Chain A
Amino acid sequence: MAGRDSEGKRDGKAPVGTSPVEWAAAAAGAVLLVATIAYLVHYGLTKPEGPPVIRVVVETVEPAGEGYRVGFTATNEGNGTAAELSIRGVLRAGGAEIEASTARIDFLPQESSRSGGLFFRRDPRALTLDLRAEGYVEP
């Protein structure tokens, strides 16, 4: 019994104080928590929730399989997340729509970028390529 008791004490059953190492770790935790709360409140105050603003940029156009792949990067410059964002690319010749492809991005958070690709049968370099964000829903 006595043996078990002293073991129990070593194990932290008996109340103990706080060592300098623990105080240092506690201080680090406190700083982290306060910084997190401050950051969140600051973010909420300076960047109130707004609509997403999507910019789509064509990165690459290259042959892929039987057709061509247009690599793009969509960037959300607004202050709201876009969910189920669809990116639509249209190939035109003299105003007439020849071919269209759509890609969907599940979530595009504020200030974030996501990349993807659209496939076409015809060579987009020989035609006019029109790439834009088509629509989204709020998450």
Chain B
Amino acid sequence: MAASRGRERDGGGVATLRIPSSTEFFVGAGRAFAGALLFSLPMLMTMEFWQLGFTIDPFRLALLLAIGVPLLVRLSRYGGIRHTVRLQDDVADVFVSLLIAFVTAGLLLWLFGEVAPGRPLREVWGKVAVQAFPAAIGAMLALNQFGQGDTDADADADRGEIETRYGGELFLMVVGALFLSLNLAPTDEVAVLAFTMSVWQEIGLLVLTLLLMHAFVHAVEFGGTHRRVAGESVLGLFARSTLAGYAAVFLVSVYVLWTFGRTDGVALHEVISMAIVLSFPGAVGAAFARLIL
């Protein structure tokens, strides 16, 4: 808190924050474009995503985009195009990220020949809109991935303060899980794996997912944020952090599968199988979210 107060004083108090120049804005936008590109290329070059442009339920896509805004606003505090302390600046960053995401996806899909004049509006807009949210996450991560200023202790202390809260920890896990699930959920491979794996293999995958999640976050101490409340047992930590995290990842998986229509007309046990399969990459994403963000 002392660090952030100090910085506010440097900038002349919260009400009169320094207004960045246009050059700074374009540098940030360029980074965001790089981030959007890096994170959305796997999706832009996957056939299932092009097909989703016209097969996805329009209401579910609209819901994903609507849910995306508050999520990105919160994410802006961890990443974002620039360092923000006020909500209105976070909101500005989010909409700039979304603009960059739409432009990035539209430009590349046009170059790939996947969207072209003469194609129906629904197909063109759908194809771009499906990419917008994941690409915007990529744009928001630009500062952390490409910026140089954020690696020092001063900035980390500021972020650490938000991160140490349990809710913040789960939030980062959800974003990490969401990001990897969005990449993989539309592919046929998830469904094929769910249909071909036996129950025992699936239970094995579930156990492995839990162990990896616990190990990545607490034993190997990636990101250096592991902490056990005084007097808490390993089992308590496992339940509070890993099990709760896995539950969040599992729900994210089900939501993403539903959004892409993968659960329609599918028996409950197959939905669970798909969610277990998708939760594996989701959990890895969740565990590494702290490291990336």
Residues of A at the B interface (CB closer than 8 Å) are 4, 7-19, 21-23, 25-30, 32-33, 36-37, 39-41, 43-44, 49, 81, 107, 109-112, 139
Size of interface on B: residues with Cβ below 8 Å to A: 63
Closest residue of B by beta carbon distance from A18: B92
Q: How far is the CB of A115 from chain B (nearest CB, A)?
A: 12
* Cβ B19 vs Cβ A17 within 8 A: yes
* Cβ B92 vs Cβ A12 within 8 A: no
User: Which residues of A lie under 8 Å from residue B55 when comparing CB positions?
Assistant: 81, 107, 109, 139
Closest residue of A by beta carbon distance from B16: A17
Question: Knowing A16-B82, A17-B89, A112-B120 touch, does A27 contact B54 (C-beta < 8 A)?
Answer: no
Q: Point out the residue from A4, A17, A49, A107 that lies within 8 Å of B18, measured CB to CB.
A: A17
User: Which residues of B lie under 8 Å from residue A40 when comparing CB positions?
Assistant: 58-59, 61-62, 65, 125-126, 129
Q: Point out the residue from B24, B89, B123 that lies within 8 Å of A109, measured CB to CB.
A: B123
* Cβ A26 vs Cβ B19 within 8 A: no
* Cβ B85 vs Cβ A112 within 8 A: no
* Cβ A12 vs Cβ B20 within 8 A: yes
* Cβ A12 vs Cβ B62 within 8 A: no
The CA-CA distance from A27 to B93 in the complex, in Å, is 11
* Cβ A25 vs Cβ B96 within 8 A: yes
The CA-CA distance from A13 to B4 in the complex, in Å, is 11
User: Which residues of B lie under 8 Å from residue A22 when comparing CB positions?
Assistant: 20, 25, 92-93, 96
Residues of B at the A interface (CB closer than 8 Å) are 4, 7-8, 10-11, 17-22, 24-26, 28-29, 51, 54-55, 57-59, 61-62, 65-66, 69, 81-86, 88-89, 91-100, 102, 119-123, 125-126, 129, 132, 143, 147-150, 152, 154-155
User: Which residues of B lie under 8 Å from residue A25 when comparing CB positions?
Assistant: 25, 29, 95-96, 99
* Cβ A44 vs Cβ B57 within 8 A: yes
Given A16-B17, A19-B19, A19-B20, 15 more contacts at CB 8 Å?
A11-B148, A15-B11, A15-B84, A15-B89, A18-B92, A19-B24, A22-B93, A22-B96, A29-B96, A29-B97, A36-B129, A39-B125, A40-B126, A41-B62, A43-B58
Closest residue of B by beta carbon distance from A32: B102
User: Which residues of B lie under 8 Å from residue A23 when comparing CB positions?
Assistant: 92
Jot down 16 A-B pairs with beta carbons below 8 A, ordered by A: A4-B152, A9-B10, A12-B20, A15-B7, A15-B17, A16-B17, A16-B19, A19-B24, A21-B22, A26-B92, A28-B95, A36-B62, A36-B129, A40-B62, A40-B125, A111-B123
* Cβ A111 vs Cβ B97 within 8 A: no
Q: Point out the residue from B69, B88, B102 that lies within 8 Å of A18, measured CB to CB.
A: B88
User: Which residues of A lie under 8 Å from residue B94 when comparing CB positions?
Assistant: 26, 29
Q: How far is the CB of A107 from chain B (nearest CB, A)?
A: 6
The CA-CA distance from A81 to B148 in the complex, in Å, is 47
* Cβ A29 vs Cβ B19 within 8 A: no
User: Which residues of B lie under 8 Å from residue A37 when comparing CB positions?
Assistant: 62, 65-66
Question: Knowing A44-B59, A81-B55, A110-B120 touch, does A12 contact B102 (C-beta < 8 A)?
Answer: no
* Cβ B99 vs Cβ A29 within 8 A: yes
Question: Knowing A17-B20, A39-B125 touch, does A11 contact B149 (C-beta < 8 A)?
Answer: yes
User: Which residues of B lie under 8 Å from residue A109 when comparing CB positions?
Assistant: 54-55, 120, 122-123
* Cβ A112 vs Cβ B119 within 8 A: yes
User: Which residues of B lie under 8 Å from residue A44 when comparing CB positions?
Assistant: 57-59, 62
* Cβ B10 vs Cβ A32 within 8 A: no
Q: Point out the residue from A7, A13, A14, A36 that lies within 8 Å of B65, measured CB to CB.
A: A36
Q: How far is the CB of A41 from chain B (nearest CB, A)?
A: 5
